[in-house]
Amino acid sequence: MRRFLVLLPLAVAAPAFAQEKAQDDAPAIVVTGTPLAETARRLDSCLARHCAPKEDIAAALAHAENQFIAGDYEGSRATLRAAHIRNQANTGQYPVEVANLDRAYGRLTNLNGYPERGRILQINSLETLRDGLGADDARVLAQQLMTGDEYVQMGRVEAGDDVYRKVEKQARKAGLPHVMGMAMLRQATMFSAVSRVRQGYQQEAAARVARLEATTEPELAEYRAAARVLRARLAAQSGNGKGFTDAMADLRGDRLTRPVLVYDTPVDADTVSGATVARRAPTLLAVDENGGRSINAGPEWIDVQYRIAANGTVSDVDVLRHSDHADDAWANSVVKSVGKRRYAPLALAKGSEGMVRVERFSFVYDVASVTRSRIPRRADAGRTTSLDLTLEPPPVVSSERL
């Protein structure tokens, strides 16, 4: 079973074992491998018989994920947008279901290059949950963390940190240790990621990691393990070979059965050249959801398969399929980056040749409004996002700007 978790930024992406409780509190799109035509039929049938809102939302989410997996990003977003419009009046009776719908719609909107619209939808999801469940419910606080994620993705580190610290304080007061751990891990991971490109944040990153490792609550054991991963990342970033080796040795004792990314290299920004932009330029004009002209024709994407060995190294990296307009230079850079990854040591079955994963990488140019102009402008630089498509385990999601 897949869980659809598009666009949790790299700056706040937690190792899989530390994300699972968060996702239990904030369920997303769930499908079971049903063919695209069948999910379309089920949704149409549901709407034709005026099915209950719960059924409507579940059918829309299942079909939208199938569309996304098939590479129809705009179709997926359109399915969610239509469901959003149909169910706006049902927030009082079905706050959790409507909030889940808006959360997914926001992620697809973000992934299609409209991060500001996506952020507003995440706030809508938060307000729906807060009105229906109360401010101190774990699901409300988990969604509040996601609004912080949106700030971080837009480069507003301080604003994101303010949200994370506020949630940590609320969760501590409400006796919700797992949510508190999520908030602390978000802070540590965000500063660790930012320190990759801004050296001035390295000290703050190390301090946030150490603060999480120093916790003593039994419920935060998973988050302390995640902090050890971050300590290894920081050592690798700083070129501290001994620190990296020591941190990796600590991780071996965790006996992990799920992939936890410790070290990776960014997709090479130089591969997204002027030639790439020029090649795509003729297709950039499209009709947007309001019937007007849009400057975004949808992301490029590739599905990459790779194998993780017991020691955490990666091999057998292959592109399984790709969008029609995927740029070869960008795809090659993704493959190169994946091949250099290092995961925490895995506890594999005896004789295993490694754990095989499949991951979707997308490249999109964001669209934003321009001051004193009604014409939106596409960003000069794009960003790469990734989503684990492997069946069964929860995905490890990342996002990075090029």
For the chain, 402 residues long, the average pLDDT of each consecutive 10-residue run is 34 45 41 81 97 96 95 95 96 95 93 90 94 93 91 88 96 95 94 87 94 94 88 85 82 80 75 41 41 60 96 94 92 95 89 93 84 70 87 48 34
CA 161 centroid distance within chain: 18
What is 187-220 written as a DSSP string? HHHHHHHHTTT-GGGHHHHHHHHHHHHT---GGG
| pTM of the model as a whole | 0.78
pLDDT of residue 183: 95
Superfamily name and number for 255-402: TonB (3.30.2420.10)
| DSSP state, residue 338 | H
pLDDT at residue 33, rounded to an integer: 67
Would residue 354 be called left, alpha or beta, if left means φ above 0 and alpha means ψ between -120 and 50 degrees?
Answer: left
DSSP structure class, residue 364:
E
**CA torsion 41→45→47→48, rounded to 10°?**
130
Determine the Cα–Cα distance for residues 231 and 213; give it in Å rounded to an integer: 9
Distance between CA 319 and CA 321 in Å, rounded?
6
What's 275's DSSP letter?
Answer: H
Tell me the residue length of the chain.
402
Distance of alpha carbon 18 from the chain centroid: 14
Residue 21: predicted pLDDT: 45
Query: Any residues with CB less than 8 A from the CB of 280 and at least 6 apart, and which?
Result: 297, 325
> Do the beta carbons of residue 108 and residue 77 sit within 8 Å?
yes
Distances (CA, A) of 224 to 54, 204, 228, 350: 37, 17, 6, 28
CB-facing half-sphere around the CA of 276: CA atoms within 13 A: 20
Question: What pLDDT, on the 0 to 100 scale, is given for residue 86?
Answer: 97
Distances 286 to 80, 102, 276, 301, 369 between C-alpha atoms, Å:
19, 24, 18, 18, 16
